[in-house]
Amino acid sequence: MDGMPTEAEEVARLMREIEQAELYELRLRERIVAIRDELAAGHTGRALSLCNQTLSEIDNATDVVAPSPDKAQG
């Protein structure tokens, strides 16, 4: 084999990537709801903490947008 993935392998890889992206989106939506709930309850400090934590997680999740070489082999 010349190192190129077969069509089935490429489809499987893309399906895994889509599933990961959907899970990532779901986690972000859950965080948004939690932050909104904290703000509605008047807990601005907790909401800010959740925002900062979420932003940190977004920064650390670059492989969702651009897979890192070690995760691309996956």
Residues 37-57 as b/e (b if ≥16 CB within 10 A, e otherwise) read ebeeeeeeeebeebeeebeee
DSSP 1: -
What are the structural domain ranges in the chain?
A: 7-64
pTM for the model? 0.69
- Helices 44-60 and 7-40 cross at an angle (nearest 10°) of 170
The tens-digit pLDDT sequence of the chain (74 residues) is 568 989 999 999 999 989 988 998 999 999 999 999 999 999 999 999 999 999 998 888 766 555 555 555 54
d(CA 7, CA 40): 49
Q: What are the tokens at 60? A: 């650390």
